[in-house]
Amino acid sequence: MNDRDTTGGWLWHMRAFFRRGKWRPTTELIAEWLDGVQPAHKELLLIGGSAGWMMSSLWLQRFERIVLVDIDPYAPTLFRWNHGRALMQSSTRLEFVQCDALLDLEALLSTYPKASIFFDNLLGQHVYRVPDFDRAETDLNEIAQRLAGRDWGSVHDLFSGPANPKTLPAKPIMSFTATQSALGASVDGVTGTPLHRRMLDQVGGVDEWMDHVTSGIFPLGTHTRLIAWPFVPTYIHWLQAGWVDTASSNY
Instruction: Tell me the C-alpha to C-alpha distance, in Å, between residue 209 and each of 2, 121, 203.
Output: 13, 18, 12
Annotated domain spans of the chain: 3-244
CB atoms near residue 66 (< 10 Å): 25
d(C-alpha 84, C-alpha 73), whole Å? 17
Distance (Å, whole) CA 179 – CA 223: 10
Structure confidence at residue 185 (pLDDT): 53
Helix (H, G, I), strand (E, B) or coil at 238: strand
CB of 105 within 8 A of CB of 142?
no
What pLDDT sits at residue 64?
98
R_g of the chain computed on alpha carbons: 17
The pLDDT score that the predictor gives to residue 13 is: 82
What is the structure's pLDDT at 5? 41
Find the helix or strand (DSSP H, E) in which 225 lies. Answer: strand 223-232
| Beta strands at 186-187 and 190-194: parallel, antiparallel or unpaired | antiparallel
Q: Do 9 and 16 touch, CB atoms closer than 8 A? A: no
Task: Report, at the CATH architecture level, how domain 3-244 is classified.
Answer: 3-Layer(aba) Sandwich (3.40)
pLDDT at residue 45, rounded to an integer: 98
3-state class (DSSP) for residue 176: strand
173 CA to centre of own chain: 15
Grouped pLDDT means (10 residues each) for the chain, 251 residues: 50 86 92 95 97 96 98 94 98 97 96 97 92 90 95 96 78 66 50 72 86 91 91 92 74 38
Report residue 233: phi and psi, to 5°: -55, -30
Instruction: Give the closest residue to 225 by CA, choosing from 163, 171, 164, 181.
Output: 171
| CA distances for 121 relative to 52, 74, 84, 109, 240, angstroms | 10, 17, 20, 19, 9
pLDDT of residue 249: 45
* CA dihedral (14, 20, 26, 31) positive or negative: positive
pLDDT of residue 159: 92
For 223, phi and psi rounded to 5 degrees? -80, 125
Beta-carbon neighbour count of residue 67 at 10 Å? Answer: 21
